[in-house]
Amino acid sequence: MIRTRIFRSFVFLMIGFSLVACDKTPPNGNNNNNSKAPVTGTLEVEFRIPGSFLPPNRVLRADLSVAVDAEHLYKGHFFYVANVYNNKLMYQITLKPGNYYYQAGIVCIAGGDSCSAAGFPGGQFGVKWAIGTAQINANEITHVVPQFTQ
Amino acid sequence: MFFGSDNLFLRVFLVPFEWNCEEIKLIDMANGLIKNYLYKGIIILGTTCMVLSSCSTEIDINAPNQNVPIVYCILNDADSVQYVRLQKTYLVDQAAISTPPEADSLYFPGEIQISLERWENGRPVQTVQFEPTYDVPKDSGFFPVEKHMVYKAHVKILPMKTYYLYVYIKDKEEVLFAETTTLGHMTVTDPLDLKQRKIALNIGENYICRWQPVENAGIYQIGIRLNYFETVDGVTVAKSLDMPQSFTSPVTNIDYLTRVISGSRFIHIISEQLKPIPGVVREVQNLDFYFITGGKEIKYYIESTAPSEGALIEKPVYSNFNNGLGLFSSSARADIKGLYLANTTLDSIAYSQLTNNLGFLDHNGDRDSSNICSNQ
């Protein structure tokens, strides 16, 4: 009797082990316990080109850069520089929560003195800059629109 | 048979009539020995001949060389000089690299006339003759001749026109000809030739090239060239690193064609192509973009010479020449040169795990990574 009980217990134990080993339940993909994904927010820049008497294709997006503070912005030490295009209006940048400084630039390529008349320093290929700050919060989108002087 | 056991033939000629029986027995024994050796000799000789003849590998598998003309001409609308390369097929018994053919095997002797005609409204309106020249230096690779002879003509190629190329070879009394329609103008939208717009190519940051479709185009390819200075032992040399991208096929009914240049691949190629040199200082200068498009003939030719992917192992090489082999097509290109890289890209090249041992300077012009900002 004792041997039979020991044998049955052993069999049940092995069945239990086998069931555990054959568990097809997928593991927890979030893996929250070991390494947490960095908490980030999004800076969304609506890079509009201001209207002027110049034709639309004579003023182009030139630069969109982000720095951690004003001093780094002034020195040109950016940690992110976006590739800007003529046909792209919205630019999204994933950042850690905090306060950031961004700069956006537009360039005038019109001939003659049109660029100077439109307020672009240096005339043709002159660049206007718009600088601003953005507060990035976790899991939120911060929307900014750079404002250029007329 | 001639060598039978009771050989009367040998007996008649070897045994005189006046000999006695003993002598005849001796002669019979000698006769037997001779026959034995003859049998063995014939068997050995025959077997040897059969073996040697059956193991012969000297089979002439090569048909006689026919000296087929091969012509290559890609009209370039961005240049005022056009080139034609004319050679002929040759045949060597051994590997051509170990035993290169003579120069006479590559070029046709005698008179060669090459002319290019532009046709409009069903008739030729312009004819240009090509002249032989050695201006084009030999490229690296297998060229078994001292000088690289091509034919050139000063002619500006017009877009969207029909051209005929004629090649007359007096030695063969043949005229080769081919037809092609030149491509339209290539207009690049991104990147623009705008020095104020920096190019960012980092790990996770790609650049999207855009251009308008070109009429009659069959294939496109974009290449970028990283220009940099390399200083070793106080000697500075301007160098460049080419990064051709894969081919792009034309798409109909679309306003723009695009090609994404991977920032990660950009960093990887730099790390793969450049070698770390002790004490080297490298400084990125700028980045060039090359947009090249070719006609449909080039597309077919590239496809015919590409490695087979299916069950069809051997593909016929495309040729659009009559009475010969070769390729006659046109190309168009647009170069956007001297674009500056973003500060973040310069810092990535200088300090990324893949390239930090190559001696590149960062955007400050030094190798001090403490003044580099990061949001990570």
Handedness of CA B21, B25, B30, B31 (dihedral sign): positive
Query: What is the share, in percent, of chain B residues with pLDDT greater than 70?
Result: 80
Most B CBs within 10 Å, among A83, A84, A100, to test the B interface: A83
Is A56 a domain residue? yes
Find out whether the peptide bond into A121 is cis, omega within 30 degrees of 0: no
Q: Is residue A35 part of a domain?
A: no
A95:B375 CB<8 A: yes
Same structural domain, B143 and B91? yes
Question: Quick check: is A23 in a domain?
Answer: no
Tokens for B186?
């290539």
Boundary residue ending a domain (B154, B181, B208) = B181
Q: Report ipTM for this prediction.
A: 0.74
Inter-chain contact B373–A83, Cβ cutoff 8 Å?
no
Q: Is residue B123 part of a domain?
A: yes
Residue A28, domain member (yes or no) = no
More confident residue, A25 or A126: A126
The answer to whether position B6 is within a domain reads no
Q: Are residues B228 and B353 in the same domain?
A: yes
Whole-Å CA distances, B67 to B87, B98, B109, B148: 9, 21, 11, 19
Reported as a single tens digit per residue, the pLDDT across B67-87 is 889 999 999 988 899 999 998
Distance between CA atoms of B34 and B37, rounded to whole angstroms?
Answer: 5
Give the CATH number of the domain where residue A82 resides: 2.60.40
Q: Are the Cβ atoms of A77 and B207 closer than 8 angstroms? A: no
Long-range contacts of B366-373, Cβ-Cβ distance < 8 Å, separation of 24 or more: B371/A77, B372/A77, B372/B347, B373/A67, B373/A68, B373/A72, B373/A77, B373/A78, B373/A79
Q: Which two tokens stand for residue A41?
A: 């927010």
Same domain, B239 and B356: yes
Domain identity same for B220 and B120 = no
pLDDT class of A14 with cuts at 50, 70, 90 = low
Instruction: Report the C-alpha gap between B206 and B288 in whole angstroms.
Output: 16
pLDDT-derived band at B157, boundaries 50, 70, 90: very high
Q: Which domain covers residue B144, as residue numbers? A: 69-181
Question: Does B16 have pLDDT greater than 50?
Answer: no
pLDDT of residue A3 exceeding 60, the answer is: yes
The pLDDT-based confidence of B3 (bands split at 50, 70, 90) is: very low
User: Which alpha helices (DSSP H) does chain B contain, by range?
Assistant: 8-14, 21-54, 263-273, 296-305, 343-351
Question: CA torsion, points A54, A55, A56, A58, in degrees to nearest 10?
Answer: -80
Q: With a CB-CB cutoff of 8 Å, which residues 165-194 of chain B face chain A?
A: 189-190, 192, 194
Please check whether residue A37 touches B, CB under 8 A: no
Q: Enumerate the residues of chain B whose CB falls inside 8 A of the CB of residue A61.
A: 197
Would you call B189 and A87 a contact, using CB atoms and an 8 Å cutoff?
A: yes
Question: Which pLDDT does position B183 carry in this prediction?
Answer: 94
- Residue carrying structure tokens 């030149």: B182
Contact B175, B168 (CB under 8 A): yes
Q: Pick the range with the lowest mean pLDDT from A46-50, A131-135, B135-139, B187-191.
A: B135-139
Residue A50 lies in a domain: yes
* B237 lies within 8 A of chain A by CB: no
B345 to chain A: nearest residue by CA?
Answer: A81
* Same domain for B288 and B201: yes
Predicted TM-score of the model (pTM) = 0.75
Distances (CA, A) of A4 to A1, A11, A13, A16: 5, 10, 14, 18
* A116 part of a folded domain: yes
Q: Are residues B259 and B141 in the same domain?
A: no
Domain-terminating residue out of B181, B209, B230 = B181
Q: Are residues B259 and B356 in the same domain?
A: yes
- Residues 6 or more apart whose Cβ sits within 8 Å of residue A51: none
How far A29 CA sits from the closest chain B CA (Å)? 23
Number of domains in chain B: 2
pLDDT in the model for residue B85: 93
CATH no. for residue B83? 2.60.40
Chain A contact set for B370 (CB, 8 A): none
Clarify whether residues B360 and B340 are in a common domain: yes
Q: What DSSP letter does each residue of B113-142 carry, written as one string?
A: EEEEEEEETTEEEEEEE-EEE--SPPPSS-
CA distances from B360 to B264, B275, B349, B371 (A): 17, 12, 7, 15
Tokens of B310: 């299916």
Range of weakest confidence among B14-23, B33-42, B210-219: B14-23
Please name the helix (run of DSSP H) or strand (run of DSSP E) that holds residue A6, with its range, or none.
Answer: helix A2-21
Q: Do B192 and A61 touch (CB under 8 A)?
A: no
Q: Is pLDDT at B48 greater than 80 in this prediction?
A: no
Q: Does the residue B5 lie in any domain? A: no
Same domain? B335 vs B237: yes
Looking at B156, B181, B206, the residue that finishes a domain is: B181
Going by C-alpha positions, the residue among A95, A94, A105, A24 that lies closest to residue A60 is: A105
- Is residue A11 included in any domain, yes or no? no
Residue B199 shares a structural domain with residue B314: yes
Query: Is the pLDDT reported for residue B188 higher than 90?
Result: yes
In a domain, B32, yes or no: no
A117 contact B CB<8A:
no
Residue A106: which domain range? 41-144
pLDDT at B161 over 60: yes
What is the least distance, in Å, from the CA of A129 to any CA of chain B?
12
Q: Are residue B196 and residue B177 in the same domain, yes or no? A: no
Q: Which residue has the tokens 């080139």?
A: B83
Question: pLDDT tens, B92-111?
Answer: 666 666 666 677 778 888 89
Indicate if B245 and B167 belong to the same structural domain.
no
If one counts the domains in chain A, the total is: 1
Backbone angles phi, psi at B252, to 5 degrees: -85, 160
